[in-house]
Homo-oligomer: A and B are copies of this chain.
Amino acid sequence: MSPRDPGPTRAAVLLSASQLLESGGPEAVTLRAVGEAAGVSRSAAYRHFDDKAALLSELARLTLTEMAESIRAAAIDTDSRVNLRLGSGAYVDYALQNPHHYQLIFGETPLSAPTPELEAAADEAMAALQHLIERAQTAGQLGGGAPRELATVLWVLLHGIAALQITGHLHEPRTLDGDTRLNELLDLALASFRPVE
């Protein structure tokens, strides 16, 4: 029906790789294991992707697109400051619920040269954050300044929280459980984010 069916094998390979990644981490994603889980041989993936890096790059693109959608879907409050918090929370939540996928995008970068498609997906996520900033600025609830630059600062902040939490560097104080601790850190970070002017 669709102009070009991506083919069941390609879809099965991507799905298997995604499941293996989140359940067993990056070292579980071998082409042998992917092939077995998808019911094909270990070299079948090469008929649909240039190499392993290209397969992972496509997986990263899909993840980034889903993440951007998750941010947009969460930011539904009428108060723009609440909205900023909801969208930011969605970003961090998504990262923590899919840590290995998140690390695939923002981690050690095994994706050598980022493809234009991957950059486009990253821009989409960035646009979702920038939209949060612009709405808050319009409502006068956030200082002035170039929205693009402020969105970058917000991104830097959210990525810092997500990345340090995933890699286990945000472990204290131990008196609070992880979720509470993280929400309080996000609250403090956003409350301290007050662009001048």
Is the pair A189, B107 in contact by a Cβ cutoff of 8 Å? no
Residue in B closest to A166 when the chains form the complex, CB atoms: B109
| A157 at the B interface (CB under 8 A) | yes
Q: Chain A: how many interface residues by the 8 Å CB criterion?
A: 37
Interface residues of A in 146-170 (CB under 8 A from B): 149-150, 152-153, 155-161, 163-164, 166-170
Interface class of chain A by DSSP: helix
A145 — which chain B residues lie within 8 A by C-beta? 188, 192
Is A157 touching B157 in the complex (CB atoms < 8 A)?
Answer: yes
Question: A143 — which chain B residues lie within 8 A by C-beta?
Answer: 192
Is A195 a contact partner of B196 (Cβ separation < 8 A)?
Answer: no
Interface residues of A (CB under 8 A from B): 26, 103, 106-109, 114, 122, 143, 145, 149-150, 152-153, 155-161, 163-164, 166-170, 185, 188-189, 191-196
Pairs A-B, 8 closest by C-beta atoms: A160-B160, A156-B160, A192-B195, A159-B160, A194-B194, A109-B167, A107-B108, A108-B108
